[in-house]
């Protein structure tokens, strides 16, 4: 079988993303072959086409850490041709070919059957939306309720942040959205944010303890911002952290943890086991389904993937961009 793909190649002058015709022999082994309807654009995909990005093990590779579409062949009895599915995380798009091609082949233990979501909705959510759902679920598991007070979402115009705002608002929480992007207030308010504030922290020096403000936090920034946030979480509150756009260092003290009982909840969607992954995807079609996915979605054909990824790397991107694959080459 011959089909089309966007393939990243490493050369002496950098990394190029090239439109090619390939055969299924190019794909890695796996029990499930999927006709890809949609993929998406993520920061990690941008790193895959960046020299020294540190996410791809070997080139050439088909990027795309998210893929959603229809099963065309399966040697695993759990899946059959015609099943609508989504796959993301694990080695997809970094060590095994991903979603930027008309077909993908992956292990069955990485695949989630869709029930209540279309492939386009699943791609709109993708890894970022799933990480947002994991973050919200971590706070709920911690015991957070709307009665506890406001919940802060940092990086609120990004993929994780924007979906988190939408999910939390749908659950009845008072949501405070933090963003450094001017003019984003209207969108965030439409997603359900009760108020919009600037990027944190506002002061140059982070205090070990500040005024207690937040019952819970969804943070995708890390760094000094996270240190500031920890100092302002209410007694017994929690922060679900999944990102480090503000840097990997955490310049804080133990005081928020031992004087206010604050919990820091790490969120990783890459190696999250498949059984709870499938359960959470089922909830994303039900009680955790964002109410405003259409406001979050930008659309581009797969052949424009590189331009979209460059805008993400440059910090000029908001929401989620779905990349149409089927019929777009």
Helix axes 119-142, 159-170, angle to 10 degrees: 70
Number of continuous H segments (helices) and E segments (strands) in the chain: 9, 15
pLDDT at site 200? 87
pLDDT tens profile 305-325: 999 999 999 888 888 999 999
pLDDT at site 204? 58
pLDDT at site 318? 80
Are 173 and 192 within 8 A, CB to CB? no
Are 33 and 111 within 8 A, CB to CB? no
Q: Give the chain's length.
A: 329
Residues ≥6 apart with Cβ < 8 Å to 260: 209, 212, 233, 234, 235, 236, 237
pLDDT tens profile 87-131: 999 999 999 999 999 999 999 999 999 999 999 999 999 999 999
Q: What's the whole-model pTM score?
A: 0.95
- Within the chain, which residues score under 50 in pLDDT? none
> CA nearest 151: which of 177, 128, 125, 133?
177
Per DSSP bridges, beta strands 297-301 and 320-324 are parallel
pLDDT at site 269? 97
pLDDT at site 319? 84
- C-alpha 107 chain-centroid distance: 21
3 state SS of 98: coil
């Amino acid at each position: 079988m011959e089909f089309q793909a966007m393939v990243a190649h490493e050369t002496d002058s950098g990394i190029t993303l090239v439109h090619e015709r390939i055969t299924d022999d190019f794909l890695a082994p796996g029990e499930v072959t999927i006709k890809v309807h949609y993929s998406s654009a993520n920061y990690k995909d941008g790193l895959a086409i960046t020299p020294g990005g540190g996410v791809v093990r070997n080139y050439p590779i088909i990027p795309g850490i998210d893929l959603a579409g229809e099963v065309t062949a399966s040697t695993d009895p759990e899946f059959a041709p015609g099943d609508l599915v989504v796959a993301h995380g694990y080695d997809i798009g970094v060590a095994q070919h991903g979603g930027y091609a008309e077909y993908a082949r992956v292990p069955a233990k990485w695949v989630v059957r869709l029930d209540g979501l279309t492939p386009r909705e699943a791609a709109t959510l993708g890894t970022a939306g799933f990480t947002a759902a994991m973050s919200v679920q971590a706070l709920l598991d911690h015991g957070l309720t709307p009665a506890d007070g406001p919940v802060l979402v940092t990086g609120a115009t990004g993929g994780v942040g924007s979906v988190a705002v939408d999910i939390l608002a749908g659950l009845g929480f008072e949501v405070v959205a933090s963003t450094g992007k001017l003019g984003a207030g209207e969108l965030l308010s439409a997603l359900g944010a009760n108020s919009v504030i600037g990027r944190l922290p506002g002061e140059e020096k982070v205090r070990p303890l500040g005024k207690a403000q937040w019952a819970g936090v969804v943070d995708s920034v890390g760094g000094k911002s996270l240190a500031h946030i920890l100092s302002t979480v209410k007694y017994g509150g929690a922060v679900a952290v999944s990102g480090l756009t503000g840097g990997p260092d955490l310049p804080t003290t133990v005081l928020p943890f031992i004087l206010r009982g604050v919990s820091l909840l790490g969120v990783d969607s890459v190696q999250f086991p498949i059984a709870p992954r499938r359960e959470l995807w089922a909830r994303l079609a039900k009680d955790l389904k964002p109410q405003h996915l259409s406001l979050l979605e930008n659309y581009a054909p797969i052949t424009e993937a590189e331009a979209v990824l460059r805008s993400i790397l440059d910090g000029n991107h908001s929401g989620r961009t779905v990349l149409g694959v089927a019929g777009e080459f």
